[in-house]
Amino acid sequence: MLIRRPNTIKPSEITDEAVYNSRRQFIAVTAKTAVAAVVTGTMSSVLGLQNAQAALSLPNITKSKYTVEEEQTSFKDVTRYNNFYEFSTDKEGPATLAKNFKTDPWTLRIDGEVNKPATYQLEDFIKPHVLEERIYRLRCVEAWSMVIPWLGISLGDVIKRVEPTSKAKFVEFTTLHDPVQMPGQKRSVLDWPYVEGLRIDEAMHPLSILAVGLYGQVLPNQNGAPIRLVVPWKYGFKSIKSIVRIRLTEHQPKTTWALSGPGEYGFYANVNPNVDHPRWSQARERRIGDFFKRKTQMYNGYADEVAPLYAGMDLKRFY
């Protein structure tokens, strides 16, 4: 991964404490207003932001029990500090370069080891599902983290709908390949299209979601519009953006980062403070907006829910 080491973070990205404290108060108020706005459907106007490109409407949002009670990262940071290499390898690049990315119409294919393969238009794909607000931590392999209020649907429910066969052991996800719209794909920084994968039991876990929105509005393009994966106990690179295909497979998918740096990025990529990246420690992280670093938690704090999935596995080997 083209990674800036923590000591190369620009001073301008580190908030001074006074600004930080006043910002915390502001965020607390904004977050409360935001929750109220989700309920009344006025979120976009509260934040003064509309995603003109996305035609997806977000009806009937319910609150999920799978939510952390933690201060949310500001909307500005969530939408201005991004990893989306199809647009740029800079954090600030995707917000501008993805502005005109066309997400409507959007077709999603689900096939492979399933009895009911299907091609959906996004709106039809979402309709039968319950749209939930879930506040999750996202921990990047680069040792920074955020807390984001996603709007999403259960990935497990989607998979049940297409009826996996007994051979379905893994789930592979693929991002759109369109170098005209995604200028980063003209450069061979990665082997395009971006591919990610999960074991079927990880994909069926109730914490795994397909997100179509955040902060009460449709997903901004730079965050993976119109639909992206969110797996909160894994490093952020597993949460693949702008998905066009979900394929159930018998064999472990060849995933982009594992192909690009097999010694650095494993297939599992579970957040683990005890297994360092070969070039830096994973013991601590910088929560975006915070001044001080904090300790990284095993499975990003979701150990009670997901540790049983990995019982008996050597986590140093299956990193």
Binding site for ligand MTE (CB under 6 A): 82-86, 138, 140, 175, 194, 223-224, 236-237, 239-242
- Provide CB contacts within 8 A for 311, sequence distance 6+: none
End-to-end CA distance of the chain: 16
Considering the complex, state which of residue 242 and residue 300 has its C-beta at the smaller distance from ligand MTE: 242
Rg (CA), the chain: 19
The CB-of-83 to ligand MTE minimum distance in angstroms stands at 4
Considering the complex, state which of residue 64 and residue 174 has its C-beta at the smaller distance from ligand MTE: 174
Q: DSSP E strands: which ranges in 21-140?
A: 61-63, 107-112, 118-121, 131-139
Considering the complex, state which of residue 85 and residue 164 has its C-beta at the smaller distance from ligand MTE: 85
Considering the complex, state which of residue 82 and residue 103 has its C-beta at the smaller distance from ligand MTE: 82
Considering the complex, state which of residue 101 and residue 125 has its C-beta at the smaller distance from ligand MTE: 101
Other Cβ atoms within 10 Å of 302 Cβ, number: 22
Considering the complex, state which of residue 170 and residue 237 has its C-beta at the smaller distance from ligand MTE: 237
Considering the complex, state which of residue 1 and residue 162 has its C-beta at the smaller distance from ligand MTE: 1
The CB-of-95 to ligand MTE minimum distance in angstroms stands at 9
The CB-of-167 to ligand MTE minimum distance in angstroms stands at 27
> Would you say 49 and 99 are in contact if contact means Cβ atoms under 8 Å apart?
no
The CB-of-230 to ligand MTE minimum distance in angstroms stands at 9
Instruction: Look up tokens 């979900």; give the residue.
Output: 246
The CB-of-143 to ligand MTE minimum distance in angstroms stands at 11
> Can you count the helices (H) and strands (E) in the chain?
9, 13
The CB-of-211 to ligand MTE minimum distance in angstroms stands at 9
Considering the complex, state which of residue 34 and residue 195 has its C-beta at the smaller distance from ligand MTE: 195
In 3D space, the residue among 195, 196, 211 whose CA is nearest the CA of residue 154 turns out to be: 211
The CB-of-141 to ligand MTE minimum distance in angstroms stands at 7
Which residue has its beta carbon closest to ligand MTE? 236
Strand partners, 277: 280
Distances (CA, A) of 307 to 98, 177, 317: 36, 34, 16
DSSP state of 72: P
The CB-of-185 to ligand MTE minimum distance in angstroms stands at 10
Buried b or exposed e, range 102-126, using 16+ CB within 10 angstroms: ebeebebebebbbeeeeeeebeebb
> Would you say 288 and 144 are in contact if contact means Cβ atoms under 8 Å apart?
yes
- Provide CB contacts within 8 A for 15, sequence distance 6+: 23, 289, 290, 291
